[in-house]
Amino acid sequence: MKAFLAAVLRIVRKDLRVESRTKGITTTTAVFALLVVLAFAFSFVKTFREPAVLGRGALWVAFVFGGTLGVTKAAAVEDRNAALDGLLVAPIDRSAVYLGKVTSTALFVFVVNVVTLGATTILLGYAPTPRTALAVVGVLAVAAVGFAAVGVVVATLTYRSGLDELALPLLLVPLVVPVLLAGVELTAALTAGAPLGSWLRLLCLYTGVLLLAGVATFEFVVEE
């Protein structure tokens, strides 16, 4: 178990180092997410009187599109020079490779989402209390893990099978609908101070299911 976790951490560390040099995933994704928020601001800010509704709408639309771009970029790093093959011929469990990739990808998606949350506050007037904002950040963290859990598998599958990049959102988005739905409902409930109901359970359970499914399928996705 210790060796397994060490392998996961080594892959995360490698991804963080690569990203610290290129900033290819976070910068591109953040710019894209901010453009989504800006588009919302230009389109609705004068006519729409409920910043909380507008803010959470922009936040989760940016989450889906920015996240899709993020997982694509993360998979592209491993596709270039067949770098992923280098990880596969290392004496480590392939589920460690998967969990390492999920951890780093979720981290990148999460960081961009936090920036997006800040942008919705500034540009759309969405002003949750600090406690609510913290809870929303927690929801974003779990949602980022769920998104990355399925995103890593689908993006790897897309690249390794030579599918068009357009196939990625077509395969990915339907699979993350429960994450998105739970995220939107939880953000609404947190902002309104309403009970979270079963949405939090759904988000956590579905994320867990996606992770287990990813561990079970990654081996077959990476092997030709």
Q: How far is the CB of 24 from other proteins (least distance, A)?
A: 8
Q: Which stretch binds other proteins (CB under 8 A): 43-51, 88-96, 131-139, 162-170?
A: 88-96
Q: Which of 56, 73, 94, 101 binds other proteins (CB under 8 A)?
A: 94
- Asked if 102 contacts 73 with a C-beta cutoff of 8 angstroms, the reply is no
SS3 for 23?
coil
Contact flag: residue 177 with other proteins (CB under 8 A) = no
CB of 67 within 8 A of CB of 173? Answer: no
The only residue of 71, 92, 157, 190 in contact with other proteins, by rule CB under 8 A: 92
8 Å CB contact between 187 and 59: yes
Mark residues 68-87: x for contact with other proteins by CB under 8 A, - for none.
---------x--xxxx-xxx
Rounded-to-integer distance, Cα 115 and Cα 25, Å: 14
Contacts of 167 (CB under 8 A, 6+ apart): 158
Query: At closest approach, how far in Å is the CB of 85 from other proteins?
Result: 5
Near other proteins in 195-224, by CB under 8 A: 219-220, 223-224
Q: Does 2 bind other proteins (CB under 8 A)?
A: no
Q: Using CA atoms of 204, 20, 8, 171 in order, give the dihedral in degrees to the nearest 10.
A: 50
DSSP letter at 45? T
Segment contacting other proteins (CB under 8 A): 12-20, 28-36, 136-144, 184-192?
12-20
What distance in Å separates the CA atoms of residue 188 and residue 59, rounded to the nearest whole number? 12
Q: What is the C-alpha separation between 33 and 167, in angstroms, rounded? A: 21
- Closer to other proteins by Cβ: residue 97 or 176: 97
Nearest distance in Å: CB 29, other proteins:
17
Binding site for other proteins (CB under 8 A): 3, 6-7, 10-11, 14, 17-18, 21-22, 77, 80-83, 85-94, 219-220, 223-224
